[in-house]
Amino acid sequence: MAKIVSAGLLGFSEAAAHIHSGKLVAFGTETVYGLGGNAVDGEAVARIFRAKGRPSFNPLISHVPQADIAFGLGKPTPLAQMLAAAFWPGPMTLVLEQRENCPISSLATSGLDSIALRVPGSELARAFLQEVSLPVAAPSANRSGRISPTRADHVQDELGAEADIAMILDMGPCVEGLESTVIDARGQKPVILRPGSVTAEMIRDLTGVQLEKAGHDIVSPGQLASHYAPRTPVALNQSTPKENDAWIGFGDAPQGKAHAVFSFSEKGDLIEAAASLYDTLRQADAAGAKRIAIAPIPAEGIGTAINDRLSRAAAGSLALSD
Ligand code: TXA
Ligand code: MG
């Protein structure tokens, strides 16, 4: 079991010492918990891939406490500066061209010329990054392909047995609950590589640019078809539960019987649904049902990102959908 330490000054200095010695520390952000390691140290980055069991080396996001530090690693474009001024600190990751002297390990960037950078909105996460004062590479702290963790005990369940994880910094439940929006900001027009709670509408309102959908050749390498997957098969867009279902609703209570009943948001609120998404999926997965049946979620605003994650959670179970 990994040691869980409450976020606070003592915890931060211990955590920073672990990162400096090449060990891994799981920490909370406003989106999901990350599994952090020194982004400049290739061996530490390799330990991240090993602990998660990532089948291939997807590039990782480097986390820093301030925008000017991010722009010391990746070249800012006018577009990137505009996005950073509006949405950093916050749930947004920018893909930029690396600066020539960029010290980030090529394993963290998968040998690409680009780099993904994020300044988290969570104050505790930034205080931790400030204490480390090195860029921290961090994917979500789950086993590859599984549900992302939004609480310290989720990380313990997923990865607590991994020897390279020195500690878990408990920062409480994640308030956003969905991974950051990944935006390629290298050109003049923003391209959303992964939807998140900084929505297409918000980006369009800021930039005045009507967004194009990312083509197949430029989606984030980590956007695998099956991801965020519970062990129980998942059926989406269901109108009523069956007897053996763990039902996850949105808004109104279901008609008819189910093995167990959950809800992303009883009042039908998309922000609340995003924040509870992974926790509710975990609970439904643990209910011992034959299937997880999920009500339709409106595809507007942050609903786009929720449906993106749900379709990946269901991707391995299409045969069971009806
Ligand atoms: O909210 C988040 O972003 C969380 C927290 C911990 O910060 N992190 C996270 O990391 O979700 P991860 O590794 O699960 O997802 C990173 C995404 C992947 O889809 C990856 O392919 C993409 O970012 N990515 C990283 N570097 C990239 C690059 N240079 N070009 C395009 N996509 C990149
Ligand atoms: Mg992930």
Atom of ligand 1 nearest to the CA of 35: 6
Share of the chain above pLDDT 70, in %: 93
- CA 291, CA 266: separation in Å to the nearest integer? 21
DSSP string, 251-275: SSPPSS--SEEEEEETT--HHHHHH
- Smallest CA separation from ligand 1 atom 17, residue: 222
148 CA → ligand 2 middle, Å: 6
Please give the pLDDT value at position 305.
85
258 CA → ligand 2 middle, Å: 30
User: 46: pLDDT confidence band, cut at 50, 70 and 90?
Assistant: confident
- CA 6, CA 263: separation in Å to the nearest integer? 29
- CA 36, CA 94: separation in Å to the nearest integer? 18
User: 217: pLDDT confidence band, cut at 50, 70 and 90?
Assistant: very low
User: 302: pLDDT confidence band, cut at 50, 70 and 90?
Assistant: confident
The pocket around ligand 1, CB under 6 angstroms, is made up of 29, 31-32, 34, 58-61, 93, 95, 109, 112, 114-116, 118, 138-140, 179-180, 182, 193-194, 220-223
C-alpha distances out from residue 69 to 47, 73, 261, Å: 24, 7, 46
- CA 163, CA 24: separation in Å to the nearest integer? 9
Do β-strands 234-235 and 191-194 pair in parallel, antiparallel, or remain unpaired? unpaired
Write out the two tokens for 254.
């279901």
86 CA → ligand 1 middle, Å: 20
Average pLDDT, the chain: 91
Share of the chain above pLDDT 90, in %: 74
- Smallest CA separation from ligand 1 atom 15, residue: 139
- CA 55, CA 7: separation in Å to the nearest integer? 31
- Smallest CA separation from ligand 1 atom 13, residue: 139
Please give the pLDDT value at position 66.
98
Where in the chain do CATH 3.90.870.10 domains reside? Answer: 3-207
Phi/psi-derived region of residue 90, left when phi > 0, alpha when psi is between -120 and 50, beta in every other case: left
Question: pTM of the prediction?
Answer: 0.86
Please give the pLDDT value at position 212.
66
Judged by average pLDDT, the poorest of 126-140, 204-218, 303-317 is: 204-218
The tens digit of pLDDT for each residue in 128-140 reads 999 999 999 999 9
User: Is residue 98 scored above 70 in pLDDT?
Assistant: yes
User: 321: pLDDT confidence band, cut at 50, 70 and 90?
Assistant: very low
User: 176: pLDDT confidence band, cut at 50, 70 and 90?
Assistant: very high
Residue scoring higher pLDDT (111 or 93): 93
Question: Which residue type sits at 135?
Answer: P
User: 275: pLDDT confidence band, cut at 50, 70 and 90?
Assistant: confident
Sequence-distant (≥ 6) Cβ neighbours of residue 251 within 8 angstroms: 265, 266, 267, 268, 295
User: Is residue 215 scored above 70 in pLDDT?
Assistant: no
92 CA → ligand 2 middle, Å: 14
Sequence-distant (≥ 6) Cβ neighbours of residue 315 within 8 angstroms: 225, 226, 227, 229
| Mean pLDDT in residue range 290-299 | 96
Please give the pLDDT value at position 319.
43
Highest CATH level, class, for 3-207: alpha beta
